[in-house]
Amino acid sequence: MTKFRPLHDRVLLRRLESDSKTSGGIIIPDTVKEKPAQGEVVAVGTGTRDEHGKLQALAVKDGDVVLFSKWSGTEVTIDGEELLVVKESDIMGVIEGVQKKKANKAA
């Protein structure tokens, strides 16, 4: 298995699959589904340096479920899995108390 370690303030995310049904029970076909803006943190960089040269750790950690900006990041394929590299500033927040949904493995 290939190891990937993001640099500085970058975060490696695995997109989480959105629900395929609305709350009313309507099934949403894959062709009209938007790419989800939720992801699970797979790896984080070391952080950034402040104006005094001190290393500032990132606010997210491996395993966190986060909400990120829709058009952010760069898609990469590692070991056949589509992942996303984003800057920490593109992450809007950590979703607390949510169960992880099935990972999106569409190629």
Q: Convert the pLDDT of each residue in 9-35 to its tens digit.
A: 999 999 887 655 555 666 655 555 556
pLDDT at 86: 94
- Spatial CB neighbours of 37, under 8 Å, sequence gap ≥ 6: 67, 68, 69, 70
pLDDT at 72: 85
pLDDT at 20: 55
Residues of the chain scoring pLDDT < 70: 1-2, 18-36, 98-107
pLDDT at 106: 46
The whole-model pTM stands at: 0.73
Residue 31 lies in a domain: yes
Alpha-carbon distances of 12 from 23, 48, 70, 105, rounded to whole Å:
30, 16, 15, 15
Distance of CA 59 to the CA centre of its chain: 14
Residue 103 lies in a domain: no
Q: Which domain holds residue 58?
A: 10-19+27-94
CATH number of the domain enclosing 71: 2.30.33.40
Per the structure, the count of domains in the chain is 1
pLDDT at 19: 55
pLDDT at 21: 52
Residues facing 41 on adjacent strands: 13
